[in-house]
Amino acid sequence: MLQAIHRRKTGGFTLIELLVTTAITAIILLTASTMLMTFFLSNTRTTIRRQIKAEGNRAMSRIEFVARGAQSCDDSTPQHLIFTDLNSETYNFYLDTTTNKLMLVYTEGGIPKAPEVLTDVYTITLNNFSCDSPVDSDKVYANIKFTLVSSETTTINESFTSLVVLRNSGN
């Protein structure tokens, strides 16, 4: 009977076994939580970069579309690029310095329309808006360079560049 009582007391875990198990569990949980936080931060940066690329590509596509159909290009106003099409409609792409957004104002039938925001989520830095016409050519080229910058804690920026031939510039 004394042996049966003694067995019950030795059937449990010792304090050292519990401490070792707790320490190992803590190390595993700490490692797992660090890996999870790294994944979430990386995923956030990837999402922001993807959004910046989508917004920049959308803005660049809009500018390229207008430029291809334009007859003339005017870059005389700083940070403005103004295209005029065959119907004398104008498309003014410019940097709004109060909001750092890329804007478009166009005329339809000689009447200016409300400004359209092309980059509404991220701030923009204009690197170059210019119209070039080589000496030996009657074609006009629009040179467009801008950079979109995230306003998050981790700064992510993406540059966009395009050289577009104005198809109707010789007309």
Give residue-wise pLDDT tens across range 35-66. Answer: 988 888 888 888 888 988 999 999 999 999 99
4 falls within a domain: no
Residue 25 CB neighbours (<10 A): 10
Q: Is residue 81 a part of any domain in this protein?
A: yes
Q: What is the DSSP letter of 17?
A: H
pLDDT score recorded for residue 122: 81
pLDDT for residue 65: 92
- Work out the pLDDT band at 23, boundaries 50, 70, 90: very high
Ordered strands of the 157-166 beta sheet: 123-132, 140-149, 157-166
Mean local confidence (pLDDT), 20-42: 91
Does residue 162 form part of some domain? yes
Does residue 97 have a pLDDT over 90?
no
Would you place residue 22 in the very low, low, confident or very high pLDDT band (cuts 50, 70, 90)? very high
Rounded to 5°, angle at Cα 70 from 109 and 133: 140
Residue 94 within any structural domain of the chain: yes
Q: How many domains does the chain have?
A: 1
C-alpha distances out from residue 149 to 41, 48, 59, 94, 158, Å? 18, 10, 14, 17, 7
- Say what the pTM is: 0.74
The mean-pLDDT minimum among 28-32, 65-69, 120-124 falls in 120-124
Q: Is residue 1 part of a domain?
A: no
Position 5 in a domain: no
Which one is predicted more confidently, 108 or 83?
83
Domain range for 54: 18-166
Model pLDDT, residue 171 = 57
Report d(CA 73, CA 169) in Å as an integer.
9
Q: In this structure, is residue 42 part of a structural domain?
A: yes
On whether residue 9 sits in a domain, the answer given is no
